[in-house]
Amino acid sequence: MISLHGVSLVYPNGVRALDNVSLDIAKGDFVFLVGHSGTGKSSLLRLLYREAKATTGTIVVDGIRVDRLRRNRVPALRRHLGVVFQDFKLLSDKTVWENVAFAMQVTGAHTRDVMRQVPRSLDLVGLSHKSRMYPTELSGGEQQRTAIARALVNNPKILLCDEPTGNLDPVNTTEITALLQRINLKGTTVVVATHNQAVVDRMRRRVVRLEDGRITTDEERGYYYLGLGQGQVLSG
């Protein structure tokens, strides 16, 4: 579903964000990208939805050669992806319903499809009853659920999350994590870049660790800290 081979990313200011990264993510996978700030987690995600362009290497997302993608084909790629951010990126002058519908409306979806898809998406994240509320009237967790509903409304095969729980308290974090897991169970490939140790350790899913722009470890059922034992988690 996602495949990176020998990918490097050097920003115009000379910073080498990623260095010879190779990674394969299968359909239906759930992957955590972990590492300190500035180790390239966000950069890696940005490459996938083509907010940044790889300096070298090949990137394939859902059969699309993203590293070679022409500018005018980027919108087509993004319609196959859902992206969620730490700061939600909701429009404060639109209701929950309108925020979710917006993602369909601006891609030229038929009103009939909007009317069908938006309620489904809101139902999935459990916000049907708050569809008329504005983002400022919601809790952080609800705002993030709205953002996830928006990311899912076009039925993407892949959901990319950049620090989705970064602004949330533990209760809301748990809620969002459970939601992401539910989405993954429905067959969506989920990639989450996170700092949150509790989330990673509770889920016990694939963990890809980045350090200074390189992948240092890739564990099938990993922990946040390398080599952390089961006992340590329980006692911690």
Partner 1 sequence: MDSGKVKFFLGEVLRNFSRNAGMQITAIGTVAITIVLLGLFLFIRAALADVGTRLLDQIEISAYLRPDITNAQVAAIGRYLAQDPRVASAKYIPKREGLAELRTQTRGAIDTALLTENPLPDKFRIKARVPEDVGAVAATVRRLDGVSNVVYGQKIVQRLLQLGAVLRRVGIGVIVVFLAVAGIIISNTIRLTVFARRREIAIMQLVGATNTYIRLPFICEGMLDGVLGALVAIGLLAIARATLWPRLLEALPWVAMSAAPVDPRILAAGLLLVGAAVGILASWISVGRHLRT
Residues comprising the chain, all counted? 236
Size of the site for partner 1 (CB under 8 A): 25
Does the protein bind partner 1 through residue 235 (CB under 8 A)? no
Burial of residue 229 (CB within 10 Å: 0-12, 13-18, 19+) is: exposed
Task: Identify whether the C-beta of residue 34 lies closer than 8 Å to the C-beta of residue 162.
Answer: no
Binding to partner 1 (CB under 8 A) within 150-209 occurs at: 150, 154
Token pair for residue 99?
């925020």
Closest distance to partner 1 from the beta carbon of 89 (Å): 6
What gap in Å lies between CA 34 and CA 201, rounded to an integer?
11
Closest distance to partner 1 from the beta carbon of 203 (Å): 26
Closer to partner 1 by CB, 41 or 209: give it.
41
| Interacting residues of 175 by C-beta distance below 8 A, sequence separation 6+ | 141, 145
Binding to partner 1 (CB under 8 A) within 69-128 occurs at: 72, 74-79, 81, 83, 89, 91, 102-103, 105-108, 110-112, 114-115
Measured over the CA atoms of residue 216, residue 219, residue 222 and residue 227, the dihedral's sign is negative
CA dihedral 118, 119, 121, 125 (to 10 degrees): 140
Closer to partner 1 by CB, 60 or 74: give it.
74
Closer to partner 1 by CB, 36 or 89: give it.
89
Q: How many CA atoms lie within 13 A of 156 on its CB side?
A: 28
Closer to partner 1 by CB, 112 or 221: give it.
112
Closer to partner 1 by CB, 24 or 51: give it.
51
Closer to partner 1 by CB, 84 or 215: give it.
84
Binding to partner 1 (CB under 8 A) within 19-38 occurs at: none
Beta bridge partners of 172: none
- Which residues of this protein are in contact with partner 1, per CB under 8 A? 49, 72, 74-79, 81, 83, 89, 91, 102-103, 105-108, 110-112, 114-115, 150, 154
